[in-house]
A and B are shown apart, each in its own frame.
Chain A
């Protein structure tokens, strides 16, 4: 190739690249900005895919059809840490969406950073959102230092799924529902009976992921263990004995009595339950749509009282309004109106297994008749939430550290004492770090 030829090509290439760049920048400024549209446009970010995503789409379609004059621009993002990273970055960069889906357990990391807009009661009330229309505990989860930041959409508790046919075979039914299980002997006994019925294994749950944290937190609170952190989030107040006993119970299931497989990741834990390898599954209530779609014969019970009282992990999906200097009052009004509209449509959300937070929907007869949802409403009342520290919340460092520590005990690589020691050390390390949120 001669040099003059290559010169021309390069120049042409550069010209083309520059044009592309300019075009791209133009496209970003006109299409990508969450500030596109007028005061009646609401940009909405969420992290729901799968069954949840479909139900949310149905709610959004219904809202769009209702002719409220508000145009919603939804954007689906990946669940977990990437979502919260993007949301924090967008807020810090002053280009956040108008409304974002949010886990109540993340409030402790977000509100102190000033990333969320406090919602005035009068503003909320104008769109039918008042405290008395929510369960007090659930509403409280959206408060931080006396101000309301979140409007809860649901409670999604940890529950116990069971295969009705296998449960009948294992003689665990009382009528056509699971008999009430209770105690540290009765519950594993039921899992053992189920293991006999399946011929393979009793109960499945995710071992290679955050489910371990959720199960552990439920058991720890059933034992009445002290709060893991002090009220101000500065000190570790965890009760090591209760912590160890909780890990020991889980380890007994996978190692000692071998009633649960010890190496399952999340998809495998659901697949094992679906194909009858196990007859029980411990999971969040959000797997209802998957099992409905599979036309499986199953039912759900609240997590039984195993170690002392009925307590189960839960979190709440909620709506928040990320802070932005440049959002007009009219646009804020539209955003809250949209949130109110979604609450009114949360029956559709309930069909996905979540317990709606909006009481007018819960009181509807069709909601009370919903099965299996109506069988675990009490789980929302016995809910325990993760601690409200800056490194806590859904998919957080705290949850990752916890399951990493407990996993070793469940797979036999360490023991309950070692697992709790590792978890304690990890938490102490976090407390020693300067908090990035004050």
Chain B
């Protein structure tokens, strides 16, 4: 019975499937063709340099034309005992630990305040986001003057309030705090906008229903707003930690890593090893280790995110990010 199928039908079906396959292949080719410019750039400017760095981390390569010899894992052995490098890594971590909580919590607080409690929303939205569009050099110039002892704005207010002056940029104990203050003022706007977008996604009906049941404004925030913002908060924290780990420019411009190297972050140490000490091979090894450390932190964060998602049963925060963009 099975062989009783008319041959012509079978041939037609085969031709149809062949056509379909050909169409699919054609579409796949078109897809690859469209992706290829990006992929080429990605290969050329991201993957290839990483491979190159990995390769040169095995040599004692220097900027000059002097000879290059195989060092094996010598660079990695050296960096294990390089206190300056680990101190710089600690500064990067310290900056991340100090800057992430205020950048997340303040952004959340301001976003709730702006959407729920303040009149003239557009004005505050603009005001809180505006610093984010400033270039780093401008922000550093502003804060450099504000932090000055003697005539700086911040010390001016401190002394008016009857407190002692703080030598913000000259004291090893306060320099990193100064950098965190600057960074919070400067980059808060990004997290703030993410929160604003998420807040607008929360249906008004939920608040109306809660109000009819007699919930106060604070109860509404605590029981509706904050739980519904968990996916966004996870996203904000992940993005913020990764951004903070990359810290370099504001510290380099404001303090050059000083006083007494007390704020020098890992990226600056890598930069100095390569471009002021000319040790490209060693700097490559440093950057590979730093890269691996960032990847590890990111993986840990994503694992934590997945756990939170499972317990919450909410959509992936990454999807939320796509929606926001």
Q: Which residues of B contact A175 (CB under 8 A)?
A: none
Known contacts: A114-B64, A263-B170. The answer to whether A436 contacts B272 by CB under 8 A is no
Query: Do the beta carbons of B37 and A112 come within 8 Å of each other?
Result: no
Q: How far is the CB of B69 from chain A (nearest CB, A)?
A: 10
Chain B residues lying within 8 Å of A19, measured Cβ to Cβ, are none
Chain A residues 240 to 291 lying within 8 A of chain B, measured CB to CB, are 263
How extensive is the interface on chain B, given as a class?
Answer: 20 to 34
> A130 within 8 Å of B by Cβ?
no
CA of A397 to CA of B37, assembled, Å:
42
Q: Which of B63, B259, B282 contacts A92 (CB 8 A)?
A: B63
A81-B276, A404-B258 known; A113 vs B170 contact (CB < 8 Å) = no
Beta-carbon contact of A413 and B65 below 8 Å: no
Q: Are A397 and B272 in contact (CB under 8 A)?
A: yes
Closest A residue, CB atoms, query B74: A434
Closest chain A residue, CB of each to CB of B258:
A404
Say what secondary structure dominates the interface of chain B: loop
By a CB distance below 8 angstroms, the chain A residues around B275 are 81, 85, 89
Assembly CA distance A397 to B261 (angstroms): 12
Interface residues of A in 79-126 (CB under 8 A from B): 81, 84-85, 88-89, 91-92, 109-110, 112-115
Q: Does A218 contact B (CB under 8 A)?
A: no
Specify which chain A residues have a CB less than 8 angstroms from the CB of B37 in the assembled complex. Answer: 14
Which DSSP category, helix, strand, loop or mixed, fits chain A's interface?
helix
Q: Say yes or no: B66 contacts A404, CB within 8 Å.
A: no
- Cβ of A208 < 8 Å from any Cβ of B? yes
**Do the beta carbons of B276 and A437 come within 8 Å of each other?**
no
- The answer, yes or no, to whether B149 is at the interface (CB within 8 Å) is yes
> Which one of A85, A396, A408 lies within 8 Å of B260 (CB-CB)?
A408
Chain A residues with CB below 8 A from B282, complex form: 433
Cross-chain pairs A/B with CB under 8 angstroms, 16 sampled: A81-B276, A85-B275, A85-B276, A89-B275, A113-B63, A115-B65, A208-B169, A208-B258, A390-B278, A397-B276, A400-B256, A404-B258, A404-B261, A405-B260, A436-B279, A436-B280
Give A contacts to B, CB under 8 Å. Answer: 14, 81, 84-85, 88-89, 91-92, 109-110, 112-115, 208, 263, 323, 390-391, 396-397, 400, 404-405, 407-408, 411, 413, 429, 433-434, 436-438
Given A113-B62, A391-B277, 17 other A-B residues pairs in contact with their CB atoms under 8 A? A14-B37, A84-B276, A91-B65, A92-B64, A110-B64, A112-B66, A113-B66, A115-B64, A263-B170, A323-B65, A404-B261, A407-B260, A408-B260, A433-B282, A436-B62, A436-B63, A436-B277
* 5 closest residue pairs by CB, A with B: A113-B64, A436-B62, A436-B278, A85-B275, A404-B260
